[in-house]
């Protein structure tokens, strides 16, 4: 490989060598009010795509989408002939905005290995909408995401947030949107070496939070907050952060893989009936799919987890999501970190569609697969009344594709968030343009 080509490859992969420009001009597209006609429309609700349809946007909101949609006079019209239109893609478990490069500690706020707090950590305070991975994901059609911390020194990772990926912000949609706890093998390691210890820590923490909630002063807000008992294991800040969890105001995301561990999580509901549980991972979820469905506990699962990479995933299969969905479990694609970046969400969903054509396997229909990266993660995050589909009244997060969005060869040609056009530009794309055909003096001195 030539040195110029090698430099280009390194720069594109790292995305951190050169500073990104603060702003880029958005494409010459209408904003707020517009319509897309003559396109293949995918609502994102699980239904099949509609050929020759239209989408109408007014005031940054979806007015209508589908077949035989009347386009009001006087608004800009985009001819979508040969194009596909979907809602903006939603990924419910990412580290977007928490790091520039995962291997550089100074740029990585996804975990706090030596912090004195755990459940009380709030990642919304560290999210950087200008972090390079945000623009990369936006260019791939991702418009909203759940940002989750990573557990480092305790089973509780902290409180995640919901963000939008709009170029001009605001970025943060919902701070403290959920609490994440690690059980299974990782939780056992963090708790002292066994699942027994992890379960004891979790139940004790929830009890301490419940006790603190019961001791909190009533209407007299001037009263000092109650102190923790002398034998409490949690700091008061961590216990206070878990009060919304035990009272049902904040979902508890629980990372487990093994079927037995999933059953253990479902049993938590008997002692803490207000818990709003979400299972993350569920590599063996298909084995307890009927129990998950009966408990109405949703799942954020990986589409490609099909190997027994650990003892807790010995029964892993790529048919996992399809089998859980067939059993009535609400399943979205999750776990978009590191190598499994959010921009791969359409490809992973497309794999599940292809799997449905493999004899003996269980995948998803095209509509189900798109819903798993749009409306279902939005619903799990509690935002289905705001975004996630092309239903009337929702935010106009709209993506125009040059082909089937679940086909790896397709890409967005126009992206709107809240009806506003977004520039298809990232740090990597600027580097590509800079070094594709460098002129005299265009390369760093070492490579000239």
DSSP lists the bridge partners of residue 34 as 57
Instruction: Categorize the per-residue pLDDT at 439 as very low, low, confident or very high, splitting at 50, 70 and 90.
Output: confident
Two tokens at 439?
A: 């002129």
Kindly state the average pLDDT of the residues 289-293: 98
Q: What is the CATH number of the domain that holds 68?
A: 2.30.40.10
DSSP lists the bridge partners of residue 156 as 181
Residue 414 is predicted with a pLDDT of: 96
Spatial distance between the Cα atoms of 6 and 433, rounded to a whole number of angstroms: 15
Residue 406 in domain? no
Residue 28 is predicted with a pLDDT of: 72
| Nearest CA among 11, 15, 29 for reference residue 423 | 29
Spatial distance between the Cα atoms of 34 and 347, rounded to a whole number of angstroms: 29
Instruction: Categorize the per-residue pLDDT at 2 as very low, low, confident or very high, splitting at 50, 70 and 90.
Output: very low
DSSP lists the bridge partners of residue 179 as 159, 252
Residue 405 in domain? no
Instruction: Categorize the per-residue pLDDT at 5 as very low, low, confident or very high, splitting at 50, 70 and 90.
Output: very low
pTM of the model: 0.88
Spatial distance between the Cα atoms of 11 and 436, rounded to a whole number of angstroms: 12
**64, 94: one domain:** no
Q: What is the pLDDT of residues 238-284, one digit of tens each?
A: 999 999 999 999 999 999 999 999 999 999 988 999 999 999 999 99
Question: Given a cut of 60, is residue 6 above it in pLDDT?
Answer: no
Average pLDDT over the chain, rounded to an integer: 88
Question: Given a cut of 80, is residue 169 above it in pLDDT?
Answer: no
Q: Which residue has the higher pLDDT, 249 or 222?
A: 249
Instruction: Categorize the per-residue pLDDT at 339 as very low, low, confident or very high, splitting at 50, 70 and 90.
Output: low
Look at residue 232 and give its three-state secondary structure: coil
Q: Give, in order, the Cα–Cα distances in Å from 146 to each of 250, 274, 338, 351, 377.
A: 14, 22, 15, 22, 9
Residue 285 in domain? yes
Strands (E), 214-281: 252-256, 277-281
**62, 93: one domain:** no
**41, 157: one domain:** no
Q: What is the pLDDT of residues 7-38, one digit of tens each?
A: 334 334 444 333 333 344 455 788 889 999 99
Q: Give one DSSP letter per residue of 11-61, joined into a string.
A: HHHH--SSPPPS--PPPS---SSEEEEEEEE--SSSPPPEEEEEEEEETTE
**417, 382: one domain:** no
Q: Report the run of H or E that residue 158 belongs to, with start and end.
A: strand 156-164
**333, 438: one domain:** no
Q: Which residue has the higher pLDDT, 446 or 231?
A: 446
Residue 367 is predicted with a pLDDT of: 98
Instruction: Categorize the per-residue pLDDT at 105 as very low, low, confident or very high, splitting at 50, 70 and 90.
Output: confident
**203, 269: one domain:** yes
Kindly state the average pLDDT of the residues 391-420: 97
Q: What is the pLDDT of residues 135-157, one digit of tens each?
A: 999 999 999 999 999 998 899 99
**118, 43: one domain:** no
| Nearest CA among 184, 177, 136, 137 for reference residue 159 | 177
Residue 403 in domain? no
Instruction: Categorize the per-residue pLDDT at 312 as very low, low, confident or very high, splitting at 50, 70 and 90.
Output: very high
Spatial distance between the Cα atoms of 102 and 150, rounded to a whole number of angstroms: 12
CB 90 within 8 A of CB 388: yes
Domains identified in the chain, total number:
2
Q: What is the pLDDT of residues 340-398, one digit of tens each?
A: 799 999 999 999 999 999 999 999 999 999 999 999 999 999 999 999 999 999 999 99
Two tokens at 271?
A: 């002692």
| Nearest CA among 231, 204, 226, 229 for reference residue 213 | 226
Residue 396 in domain? no
Kindly state the average pLDDT of the residues 78-100: 94
Residue 408 in domain? no
Residue 407 in domain? no
Please state, for a pLDDT cut of 90, what percent of the chain lies above it.
71
Please state, for a pLDDT cut of 70, what percent of the chain lies above it.
89
Spatial distance between the Cα atoms of 42 and 40, rounded to a whole number of angstroms: 7
Q: What is the CATH number of the domain that holds 319?
A: 3.20.20.140
Q: Which residue has the higher pLDDT, 184 or 233?
A: 184
Kindly state the average pLDDT of the residues 305-327: 94
Q: Which residue has the higher pLDDT, 369 or 2?
A: 369
**248, 171: one domain:** yes
Residue 305 is predicted with a pLDDT of: 87
**64, 106: one domain:** no
Residue 435 is predicted with a pLDDT of: 80
Range of the domain at 29: 3-86+413-447
**210, 340: one domain:** yes
Q: Report the run of H or E that residue 352 belongs to, with start and end.
A: helix 345-355
How many C-beta atoms lie closer than 10 Å to residue 294's C-beta? 13
Residue 380 in domain? yes
The dihedral built from the CA positions of residue 107, 111, 114 and 115, taken in this order, carries a sign that is positive
| Nearest CA among 405, 309, 388 for reference residue 143 | 388
Q: At what angle do helices 259-271 and 195-215 cross, to 10 degrees?
A: 20
**159, 41: one domain:** no
CB 175 within 8 A of CB 244: no
**173, 123: one domain:** yes
Instruction: Categorize the per-residue pLDDT at 3 as very low, low, confident or very high, splitting at 50, 70 and 90.
Output: very low
């Amino acid at each position: 490989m030539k040195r110029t080509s090698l430099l280009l490859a390194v720069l594109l992969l790292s995305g951190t060598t050169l500073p990104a420009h603060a702003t880029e001009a958005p494409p010459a597209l209408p904003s707020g009010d517009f319509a897309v006609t003559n396109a293949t429309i995918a609502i994102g609700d699980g239904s099949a795509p509609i050929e020759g349809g239209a989408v109408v946007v007014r005031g940054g909101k979806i007015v209508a989408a589908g077949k035989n949609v009347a386009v009001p006079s006087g608004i800009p019209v985009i001819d979508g002939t040969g194009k596909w239109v979907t809602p903006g893609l939603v990924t419910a478990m990412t580290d977007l905005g928490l790091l520039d490069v995962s291997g550089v500690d100074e740029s990585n706020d996804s975990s706090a290995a030596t912090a004195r707090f755990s459940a009380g950590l709030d990642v919304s305070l560290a999210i950087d909408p200008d972090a390079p991975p945000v623009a990369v994901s936006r260019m791939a059609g991702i418009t909203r995401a759940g940002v989750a911390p990573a557990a480092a020194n305790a089973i509780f990772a902290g409180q995640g947030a919901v963000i939008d990926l709009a170029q001009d912000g605001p970025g943060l949609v919902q701070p403290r949107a959920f609490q994440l706890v690690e059980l299974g093998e990782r939780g056992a390691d963090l708790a002292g070496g066994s699942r027994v210890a992890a379960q004891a820590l979790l139940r004790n923490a929830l009890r301490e939070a419940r006790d603190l909630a019961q001791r909190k002063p009533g209407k007299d807000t001037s009263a000092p907050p109650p102190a923790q008992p002398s034998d409490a294991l949690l700091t008061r800040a961590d216990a206070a952060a878990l009060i919304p969890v035990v009272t049902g105001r904040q979902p508890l995301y629980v990372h487990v893989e093994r079927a037995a561990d999933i059953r253990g999580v479902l049993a938590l509901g008997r002692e803490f009936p207000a818990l709003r549980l979400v299972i993350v991972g569920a590599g063996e979820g298909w084995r307890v799919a009927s129990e998950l469905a009966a408990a109405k506990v949703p799942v954020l699962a990986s589409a490609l987890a099909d190997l027994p990479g650990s003892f807790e995933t010995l029964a892993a299969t790529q048919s996992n999501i399809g089998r859980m969905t067939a059993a009535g479990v609400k399943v979205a694609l999750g776990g978009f970190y590191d190598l499994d970046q959010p921009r791969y969400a359409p490809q992973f969903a497309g794999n599940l569609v292809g799997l449905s054509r493999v004899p003996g396997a269980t995948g998803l229909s095209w509509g189900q697969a798109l819903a798993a990266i749009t409306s279902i993660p939005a619903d799990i995050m509690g935002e289905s009344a705001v975004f996630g589909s092309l239903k009337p009244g929702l935010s106009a997060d709209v993506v125009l594709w040059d082909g089937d969005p679940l086909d790896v060869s397709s890409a967005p040609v126009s992206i709107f968030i809240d009806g506003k056009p977004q520039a298809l530009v990232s740090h990597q794309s600027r580097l590509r343009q800079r070094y594709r055909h460098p002129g005299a003096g265009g390369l760093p001195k070492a490579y000239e």
